[in-house]
Structure 1
């Protein structure tokens, strides 16, 4: 048994999930907690208390959760004995976040749980609610002295972490008035994905790559996160956010930080996060001329996806028919430090794209002198390291090799680390990793307040410029395409092209 397992087993924990009847709880949180329980990663003493206005009894709520786990758990329909053993730890509290009685009952539950467990428990407040409710909940937690012990009480909040730099600062100030930074877990599910975590392992556990990981050997970096899906029921939210806020400010900039960061002196949470913040502070700020040259926006029109006709963005439910919101964004960034000076980082994301995938491509510089004749190198391409996050989980190193035969003919081949081919068994969901880290008190994969603000500060000039000038070209790309032509021009002007990885098992 590992030391981490020993640690989690011995620490009693009580979860309060605000928004206990919401979609996030049913699809992600409870299935993740159940899988942790089945795999032996839950404390010996734990309690899960879902908070909501619906008048459920404990048994009624457990029946609802069983249906959710049947549908959404990676382990499938649960074993009856294991489900019953888990379900007895799950409770429902009818609550109103504006009512003091809600927090008084929480205090009573904590006292009762402490008596039963025989030790002071960790108390985790998970805010699976809209950001507009954060202040009410945080202020009431403070008012009722439910987070006095900074070593035991934690709060977990979901993105978005603010709508802009000003609101992010206000949110950080609000949370900081109740909790210390060590208690605040800003959760970004992307950072819990196995392949994302493997970026750190791949970079810093292998000596062969570090000498090459700089401007002397790397030509450029691409990070693409594309989706076939449209708005669904999120049109109202998305129309107030857009691709920059929804994806680049958090998910994609986090991936960039993992690729570009310096080696931390240790794997301690703040040592790692310090290095990530340093990357954001090193990134070149945008002036109006830079935005024209280095940032592209797009909005999709109607088209066909896998044989089905789909509407354009402005026809989606909840979207303004004259919307100026971007559903696609491509930006060229520079990290102005010694390691990366002059190396462009191209970031791209969009809705209703040809393929759903998340791929990081590091393209190395070409060989300094070509010794092979032209007829031997018809298929020549520069070496690439390709990290596929989803739907495939793999790391590919593309190199040149001689094709079998009597003549000297070179072609690219892939050296592949494939999760599915290397490991057996199910891969934990991102929320399982992040919830376990929350219980263990490990903030390595969570965003710190200064990191959130630095990301907003970097993007505010683009957000302000796009909000202040209506695009006359929208919509400018069709569904099932790779985005607007201007995005191709953005990277082509530097002599590159967007890389797409053929995926055998691509899915929405």
Structure 2
């Protein structure tokens, strides 16, 4: 296990909100020992003492549920170094000596290539690892070039393209329901499943992320990585094992079966939108174009929905719908599997009986199954819901991400060819949206999104 973590972008939002609390959770669970050392770096003029004060405040704010002793141990293990990621000598001073290091690029995606080049020139100690956040590149050609740069530095198994969605316990819930239950797996195909909705709708607006989000938009921010990853878990063939090669091979297979979008497909099977002023709960929300840091001429979407068709024996005829939006009226984060109706109901029903629906809640993490049962009147049917709340995970998602990085388990990271295939899926959509070949609908903040 690596006991040295270097975070480039050390005073950024990612480190404050997720990495520091994740490390504290690892410490509390006994995964980090006294030998662990954390070095955080960026271009700011910050001393180690100032950084520790800042880190303690962030842990109080975002990791307050973790025992105070664990938070204090992470702060005590941390130091700060000024570093310019464009300068190989500056980078070398951080990573040289002291055995293998995990270099975490908590940086804007536009700096990934620069940072990887600097790491290559600096020279990483043997058995080191590089960690990159999504989005992996800005487009397909960018991802291919970044993969080439990474291959010059480290072997593929030492490169961690992390997606914290895969570290949520929902992943295990989906795989467990599918692969460990005879009642579901024989039905897990287009003969029985009509539609699958993978949804990440949120009331949250920009939350101070305009600098990144306005250049990315909903399609790159959520669909190209997070939601396509969940699609892979739902649609993949049963792997031989849950080892990194078997699982990731099957995920790549799913991406390769997604039917490429033609111009007509993009117009018919994709939608984009942007929120205008409205009200969410008891607060007034300005229009997206009036948010601080937004450039209206970019025409960045805050809502994206795409319908996918998979050209495979298992899924031909099933619709997969991926949807995400900001500033909506309700949080809805789920994978919903809608089964086809039975061909005939022999008894009467009250009009509320519909197809069976299996729902995996992502936040909070739960599972429901809508069935048809006996109604109150004789010989009638009525809907019945079975519900289960999943037990809380032993680690938060970023705790799991960091544990996998430090122990060298890449099973939940994105492989290079997988990242490239994800871009292949969305590139025709990005091109059409950039050319304004698909309308940019407006929807009021606090609504359900663009009108049908």
- TM-score greater than 0.5 by the shorter chain: yes
Q: Are 1:126 and 2:114 counterparts?
A: no
The CA RMSD measured in Å over matched residues stands at 2.0
Secondary structure, counterpart of 2:307 in structure 1: strand
Question: Any gaps of 5 or more consecutive residues in structure 2?
Answer: none
Q: 1:107 to 1:378 in 2, by over 3 A?
A: closer
Q: 1:65 aligns with which of 50, 55, 58?
A: 55
Q: CA deviation at 1:74?
A: 5.2
Q: State the match for 1:18 in structure 2.
A: 8
Q: 2:451 aligns with which of 473, 485, 508?
A: 485
Q: CA deviation at 1:435?
A: 0.6
Distance in 2 between the 1:13 and 1:381 partners? 54
Superposition TM-score, scaled by structure 2 size? 0.94
Q: What is the count of residue pairs matched by the alignment?
A: 452
Q: 1:415 aligns with which of 339, 364, 386?
A: 386
Instruction: Please say if residues 193 and 338 of structure 2, whose CA atoms lie closer than 8 Å, have aligned partners that are also in contact.
Output: yes
Distance in 2 between the 1:285 and 1:167 partners? 20
Q: Are 1:351 and 2:322 counterparts?
A: no
Q: CA deviation at 1:231?
A: 2.2
Distance in 2 between the 1:268 and 1:157 partners? 21
Q: State the match for 1:450 in structure 2.
A: 417
Q: State the match for 1:135 in structure 2.
A: 113
Q: Are 1:379 and 2:345 counterparts?
A: no
Q: State the match for 1:319 in structure 2.
A: 294
Distance in 2 between the 1:37 and 1:269 partners? 25
Q: Give runs of aligned pairs for residues 204-283 of structure 1, distance below 5 A.
A: 204-283=179-258
Q: Give the greater-gyration-radius structure (CA).
A: 1
Q: 1:12 to 1:468 in 2, by over 3 A?
A: closer
Q: Are 1:400 and 2:372 counterparts?
A: yes
Q: CA deviation at 1:245?
A: 1.1
Secondary structure, counterpart of 1:339 in structure 2: coil
Distance in 2 between the 1:219 and 1:104 partners? 54
Instruction: Please say if residues 165 and 460 of structure 1, whose CA atoms lie closer than 8 Å, have aligned partners that are also in contact.
Output: yes
Q: Are 1:153 and 2:128 counterparts?
A: yes
Superposition TM-score, scaled by structure 1 size? 0.84
Distance in 1 between the 2:133 and 2:72 partners? 29
Q: CA deviation at 1:43?
A: 4.3
Instruction: Please say if residues 92 and 119 of structure 2, whose CA atoms lie closer than 8 Å, have aligned partners that are also in contact.
Output: no
Residues 106-156 of structure 1 show CA distances to partners (whole Å, capped at 9, x for unaligned) of 355x33xxxxxxxxx442000111223323322232223214x2xx21000
Instruction: Please say if residues 25 and 396 of structure 2, whose CA atoms lie closer than 8 Å, have aligned partners that are also in contact.
Output: no
Q: 1:478 to 1:275 in 2, by over 3 A?
A: same
Q: State the match for 1:300 in structure 2.
A: 275
Q: 1:107 to 1:478 in 2, by over 3 A?
A: closer
Secondary structure, counterpart of 1:174 in structure 2: helix
Distance in 1 between the 2:352 and 2:129 partners? 55
Question: Any gaps of 5 or more consecutive residues in structure 1?
Answer: 1-10, 112-120, 487-508
Distance in 1 between the 2:194 and 2:111 partners? 45
Q: Are 1:284 and 2:251 counterparts?
A: no
Distance in 2 between the 1:85 and 1:184 partners? 27
Q: Give runs of aligned pairs for residues 327-338 of structure 1, distance below 5 A.
A: 327-338=302-313
Q: CA deviation at 1:409?
A: 3.2
Q: CA deviation at 1:411?
A: 1.7
Which segment is superposed worse, 163-172 or 267-276? 163-172
Q: State the match for 1:428 in structure 2.
A: 395
